[in-house]
């Protein structure tokens, strides 16, 4: 691992096919959250002027890129997918260094980018429209997809290669151009992704990368009239700001925001399987997933045996540097994120929940230079408590009792979010009824709330999203518009809904 005394690489923005410094002349550091002595690199602290240059480049490139046949665009993306696959291990190690999650998880993050890029490249030959019979003779009717223009892509730090692939690849295959602002905590993975697209042959200006803060870079993207679609993943609070700033110019806006996801464990559940699912769902990525299982609702008949097993397994989790093969849970991504977790632990204790395990920051020995925190479980939680209603984004799980499946469903639906939910049961009738009644965008049976696959839509309801979906063919709806086309070859005026074709 490089030390901070070694010569550092200063990374640049990627605008109009070239790697260029910010006009500000300012930079920011990227440090390893497991060891802050490890300075990974220096990145551009960009300004609105950099954003304007990138948008201008994307706008110019759009006039050519939109006319490239979709199957040809797809060929470049297939090439990019193979390059990502070839470099999977190196990309995963870079990702673990900059955001902390264990290597198995960052390999999965990179694999998701591979899967999404291969899948979406296939849509270059499958952007199907409709052909329908006209109500008039000698008239042909069909619909086709058309791109929108410049796409503003704003992504978070927790999946720094997977989520950009969910947005950038469908945007490109539909014929749009891209200006990409990654999270300031994970710029290296974003830069690696863009370098691969450049190497795959994506033309100059089609993809542009501008690093820096949301206030300077993100806001400038949102208010620029030349941006026609915005795709954002982040908190609900910031998503609301994104929506408001984009509204005056009638941009299409796709928002993927917070979650407070629930696993329901019924009295007939396989408890060992449920415990495994709750461990993975609650503490995978150190709880820093929008789909994390931060709520567990357990039928009172199995509450105590479930809780005992869950706590025992959580205490045994090995916390450490994600690059260590023995680590099962890495650090939080930043000091601020750990502070948020510590504040919620204090809130839970004051609300009267029982701290069943964890609850402390890890600050000594091997943990001294990172942002580590114990896996934490609160028991005897009421659904009205803040720890059971608000997104914490850390390794904190609230366990609640229920007396029936109906009460479990009511608890599941009783928060502002609606992303993912799960039930553990052996009763197929119960599983299907709960699947119907829980109002979320994603639902699992006998599996945790994480683990979405790229060929199905991803997204949520209520304060989690604004009705659009990522992944699957649903992603094409975000980055394209429909055009209905009518071709009249009768040689005369025909008036739809007025003139009637002869039988």
Would you give the DSSP letter of residue 215?
I
Of all helices (H) and strands (E), which one includes residue 295? Answer: strand 295-299
Q: What's the full length of the chain, in residues?
A: 503
Q: Which structure tokens are listed for 158?
A: 């927790």
The tokens for 123 are: 């849509």
| Cβ within 8 Å of residue 24, ≥6 positions away | 44, 45, 46, 47, 49, 50
Rounded distance, CA 414 to CA 409, Å?
8
Helices then strands, each counted (H, E), the chain: 14, 23
**Residue 395: closest CA among 433, 361, 440:** 361
Which candidate in 105, 256, 374, 391 is catalytic? 256
- The CA distance from 121 to 75, in Å, is 7
Residue 116 CA from chain centroid, whole number: 12
Distance, in Å, from the CA atom of 97 to the CA atom of 95, rounded to the nearest integer, reads 5
Whether 174 sits among the annotated catalytic residues: the reply is no
Q: Of 284, 268, 293, 286, which Cα lies nearest the Cα of 422? A: 293
Closest CA to 59 of 169, 195, 170, 206: 206
Catalytic (active site) residue 290: yes
Q: Is 344 helix (H, G, I), strand (E, B) or coil?
A: helix
Q: Residues 6 or more apart from 2 whose CB is under 8 A from it?
A: 38, 39, 40
**Residue of 166, 74, 65, 162 lying closest to 126 (CA atoms):** 74
Q: Which helix (H) or strand (E) holds 61?
A: helix 48-65
> Per the residue annotation, which of 174, 278, 290, 402 is the catalytic one?
290
User: Which residues are the active-site residues?
Assistant: 256, 290
């Amino acid at each position: 691992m490089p030390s901070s005394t070694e010569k550092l690489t200063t990374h640049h923005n990627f605008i109009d096919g070239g790697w260029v410094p910010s006009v500000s002349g300012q930079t920011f550091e990227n440090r390893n959250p497991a060891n802050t002595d490890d300075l990974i690199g220096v990145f551009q602290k960009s300004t609105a002027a950099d954003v304007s240059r990138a948008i201008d480049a994307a706008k110019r490139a759009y006039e050519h890129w939109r006319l490239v046949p979709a199957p040809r665009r797809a060929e470049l993306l297939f090439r990019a997918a193979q390059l990502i696959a070839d470099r999977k291990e190196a990309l995963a190690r870079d990702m673990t260094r900059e955001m902390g999650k264990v290597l198995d998880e960052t390999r999965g993050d990179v694999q998701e980018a591979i899967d999404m890029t291969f899948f979406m490249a296939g849509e270059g030959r499958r952007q199907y429209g409709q052909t329908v019979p006209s109500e008039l003779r000698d008239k042909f009717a069909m619909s086709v997809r058309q791109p929108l223009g410049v796409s503003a892509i704003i992504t978070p730090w927790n999946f720094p290669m997977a989520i950009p692939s969910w947005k950038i690849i469908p945007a490109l295959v539909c014929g749009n151009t891209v200006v990409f602002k990654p999270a300031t905590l994970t710029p290296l993975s974003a830069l690696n992704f863009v370098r691969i697209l450049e190497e795959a042959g994506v033309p100059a200006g089609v993809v542009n990368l501008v690093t820096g803060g949301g206030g300077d870079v993100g806001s400038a993207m949102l208010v620029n009239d030349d941006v026609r679609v915005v795709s954002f993943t982040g908190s609900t609070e910031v998503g609301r700001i994104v929506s408001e700033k984009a509204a005056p110019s009638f941009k299409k806006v796709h928002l993927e925001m917070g979650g407070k996801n629930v696993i329901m464990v019924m009295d007939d559940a396989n408890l060992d399987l449920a415990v495994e699912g709750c461990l993975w769902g609650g503490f995978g990525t150190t709880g820093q997933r929008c789909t994390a299982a931060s709520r567990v609702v357990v039928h009172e008949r199995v509450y105590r045996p479930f809780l005992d097993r869950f706590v025992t397994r959580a205490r045994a989790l090995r916390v450490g540097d994600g690059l260590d093969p023995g680590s099962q849970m890495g650090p939080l991504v930043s000091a601020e994120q750990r502070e948020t977790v510590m504040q919620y632990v204090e809130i839970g204790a004051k609300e009267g929940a029982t701290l069943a395990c964890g609850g402390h920051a890890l600050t000594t020995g091997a943990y001294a230079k990172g942002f580590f925190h114990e896996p934490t479980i609160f028991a005897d939680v009421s659904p009205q408590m803040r720890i059971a209603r608000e997104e914490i984004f850390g390794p904190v799980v609230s366990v609640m009792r229920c007396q029936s499946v109906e009460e479990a469903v009511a608890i599941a639906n009783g928060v502002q979010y609606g992303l993912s939910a799960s039930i553990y049961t052996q009763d197929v009738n119960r599983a299907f009824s709960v699947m119907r009644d829980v109002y979320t965008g994603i639902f699992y049976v006998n599996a945790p709330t994480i683990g979405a696959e790229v060929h199905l839509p991803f997204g949520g309801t209520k304060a989690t999203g604004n009705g659009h979906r990522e992944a699957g063919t649903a992603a094409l709806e975000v980055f394209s518009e429909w055009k209905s086309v009518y071709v009249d070859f009768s040689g005369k005026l025909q008036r739809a809904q007025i003139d009637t074709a002869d039988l």
